[in-house]
Structure 1
Amino acid sequence: MSAVELENLLNFVGPKIQKRDTFLRESISASQRLIVTLRFLASGDSYHSLMYLFRIPVSTMSIFIPEVCAAIYDTLKETVMKMPGSKEKWIQIAEGFETTWDFPNCIGALDGKHIVMQAPPNSGSLYFNYKGTHSIVLLAMVDSCYKFIYIDVGCYGRISDGGVFNNSSLKTGIVNGALNLPNRSALKGRQSPLPYVVVADDAFALSTYLMKPYPFRNPAMKQRVYNYRLSRCRRIVENVFGLVANRFRVLRKPMLLHPERVKTVVLAICTLHNYLMEGKESVKRYAPVGTFDVEATDTGIVADGSWRSEEGIPDRNLIPLQTTQSRNHPKAAELVRTEFTEYFSSPQGKVHWQYRHI
C-alpha cells in the first residue's frame, strides 16, 4: 500500500475511528489506529507483540482494532464490495469470463474456506469442523478480475458443505430472482438457451444455476473436457484465496479472537483486497505480475503464481470445504451441464489445446 492509498483510506475511515481528547489525556490518533490495525492484518502478530512495537496497551488494542476493521468494511463496502445490481453489469462480468477463460454465461467462481480460530468458550461442537479444528466459514464469489463480488462470513464450522451455500443470501437471491440476472441466452452455434451460472467444485450441489465437475470415475472424453474447462475457470477463486492468505498473514494461524471479531477481521480483509485491486498502480504493488497463475495463450500450460511458493498457503490455514459424495441431481441441472459439455467439444466452443490437458 502506497502512502497515497493509505492517506485515501484514512480519509474514508478517519471520521469513524477518531476519538475525542479529554482533560486527562489525548486520544490515540485515527492514523495510528489505522496503522496498528493494518500491521495486525498484514503480519499476524499478536497484540502483545504489537504492544512493544507501538507502545499501546493490549487492552486498548483489543478494543480499537475490531472497531477499525468494522469501519473499513462499513465505509468501503458500497464502493468496492457492492454486488452488481443490473443485468448490464452481470453481462460485463460474464463477458470477462468468456474473454479471459473461455467459459460463457458465467457470472462468478464460488468457493468456501474455513477460517481457523481458537475454540470459543462454552461453544460445544458448533465451530468444530471435519479437520478437527474450530472455525467459521468464508463463502466467496469472485469475478474474472480476481475481485470479490459476494462474501458471506460467520457460518458455523460444523455445518456441512451444502448447508453453507443453502443458508447464504446468494442462493436465496438467485432462486428468488432478486439479483436481476440476465435472461437465458444460447451459446455460440447452439440452440438451447442456457441460464447464467456460477462455477464451483465438488463441495457444492449441482443445480441449474451452479455448475460443478463430473465425478472422476472413468468419465467420457467430452466430460473430461468439461471438467478441464470448468476447473480452468474456477482457478480464479483459488488464486484469490491464496493471495489473501499471502498478504494478510493473520489468516496463517488460528485467530485468538471471539467468533464475532474473527468475522469482522475477515470482512475487513476482503474489503481491503478489493480496495487494493481497484487501481493499476495499486495492483502492481499488491499483486504484481507473476502473483497469480499464468496460462500460456497458445499452449494452455499453466505457470504457478508466486503465492503457491509459500508453504502452508492456503491448505493449512484456509481449510477447503468438505467434498460431497455423488448424489442425484435435478434433471434440469443435468441438461444444463450437458449443454455446456457439448459446447466445449464443438468447433465454436473448443480451445485447441484442451485435449492435451485432460
Structure 2
Amino acid sequence: MGSEEVSNKQVIFKDYVVGVPKESDMELITSKIILKVPEDSTGILLKNLYLSCDPYMSGRMRKNRGPTYVETFQPGSPITGFGVVKVVDSRHPNFKTGDLLWGMTGWEEYSLISSPSPDMFFKIEHTDVPLSYYTGILGMPGITAYGGFYELASPKKGDRVYVSAASGAVGQIVGQLAKLTGCYVVGSAGSKEKVDLLKSKFGFDEAFNYKEEEDLDAALKRYFPEGIDIYFENVGGKMLEAVLSNMRVKGRIAVCGMISQYNLEQPEGVHNLFHITTKRIRMEGFIAREYYHLYPKYLEMILPNIKEGKISYVEDVAEGLESAPSALIGLYSGRNVGKQLVVVARD
C-alpha cells in the first residue's frame, strides 16, 4: 500500500465512568494515518477486521477500582480489546505483511503497534474456519473455557456441571466441553431464546431463565437434586450464594467472571461462604493468559470438533465500527445472543 495517508475511524474513550457505562462514554472520530511503519521502529501496522466485545472491558473504564489484571483505558485514546487483524506493514522480525493474527488491538480501522510484546498476538494458521471465530471460540474466550474447565475444575465423566451466563462467549463452550467429557450439564441464561439455544444448539441437558426464578436456591435444587460438582462462575452475587448452598462435598468452582457485580458501586456480599469449609469446596479464580501456553493443545482438540459439527458456536455480529459502542454496552443488559463481535472489515 506504500506510504499513502488514509482516513482512520476510531472509537475514543471520553472519560472515566461511574456505574453502568453508556454509549455516550465513547465517541466515533475520524483521524488520518500513514500506512507505513516508521523506519526507526520495530512495530507493525494492522488493519482491524473483527473486534471482540468482552464483559471485563467496563472495568477498564473506571478510574478507582480494586485489584485488576489489565490497565485502565486512557481518556482521549481509542478503546482497546481483542480482535482479528491483518498485518499491512511490519518492521518486526516475527510478523510479515499479510499475516493474520488475533490479539490486543485498537477500536479503529488501522492500528500502529510500536513494540508488540511476545504474548500480544497469535498467528492464525487455520483459515478453513470463520476468521471471526478468533474473537471467540478460537481466541481468548476459547482458551478461557478450556483452561478454566479442564485445568482448574478437573472434570470427570458423570460430574454434575452448572454454567451461569451459559449462552455467552465462554459459557457456550464450557457447556459443550462438559458434554464431551460425559458430564450432566445445566446452564442458565436471561431469555427464552437463550435457554432454547442452550438445549437445542449446544446440547445442555437442562437450562433455565434465571430472571423467571423467584428463588434461585430452589431452582438449583430442582435441576441438581444431588448437588453440583462443578460450577463455572460467570455471574457472582446472588447466583454464587445460591450455588454454594447446592455444591457437593469436594466440589470445584472455577471463577471466570462476575458480570452482575462489574458495574455496581458497592458489590453485593455473599452470606454463606462457610459452605466452602463444611463441604471442602475448592474455589479459584483465573485469567485467560495463564493458559496461553496451552493454546496449541487447545486448537488440536477443538478444531476437529468444530469441523465435525460436534461443537457449535453462535455469534452476535454488529456491522461497522460505528456500531461498536452499542454492541459493548448491550453486554451489560444481556442484549447479545452468543459471542458479541463487531465487523470492521472483512478483508
Which TM-score band (shorter chain)?
under 0.3
Q: Taking structure 1 as the reference length, what is the TM-score of the superposition? A: 0.25
Per chain length, whose mean CA-contact separation is higher, i.e. which structure has more relative contact order (CA < 8 Å, sep 6+)? Answer: 1
Taking structure 2 as the reference length, the TM-score comes to 0.25
| Higher Cα radius of gyration | 1
More strand by share: 2
